[in-house]
Amino acid sequence: MSSSPAPADPMATDGNRGPDVGGSSLHVDRDLCMGSGSCLFQAPATFDLDDEMKVVVLDESDSADAVRAAVESCPSGALRFVARSEPGENS
């Protein structure tokens, strides 16, 4: 955990949208986050852990490949990509 900037979109840390990557939106489910920090190793400019040891999405962004690696490495499934055209998606 580091003293990092505020999340890019506070709603992104509540299971809504984060940055778009390759035509998909990054979604974060803080209820699923177990604070392992694996996302920090893959994409440290995009993710951090807050005081509750839950993932937050930062203003800065790593490469699309790094963000994809972070999503794939998340052991709890708290990070996922959702196609922007998926039903129920609100902007």
| Closest residue by Cα to residue 91 from 5, 12, 8 | 12
Query: Exposure pattern of 39-55 as b/e (b: 16+ CB <10 Å)?
Result: bbebbbebbbbbeeebb
- H or E element in which residue 68 lies: helix 64-73
pLDDT of residue 18: 59
pLDDT at 84: 73
For the whole model, what pTM was predicted?
0.70
Q: What is the pLDDT along the chain (91 residues), one digit of tens a residue?
A: 554 444 444 434 444 445 666 778 899 999 999 999 999 999 999 999 999 999 999 977 899 999 999 999 999 999 999 887 655 545 4
Rounded CA-CA distance 54/71 in Å is 15
Cβ–Cβ < 8 Å for 28, 11: no
10-83, CATH topology level: Alpha-Beta Plaits (3.30.70)
How is the beta sheet containing 79-83 ordered, strand by strand? 17-21, 24-28, 79-83
pLDDT at 90: 52
State CA 79 to chain mean position distance.
5
**Of 18, 26, 35, 34, residue with least CA distance to 69:** 26
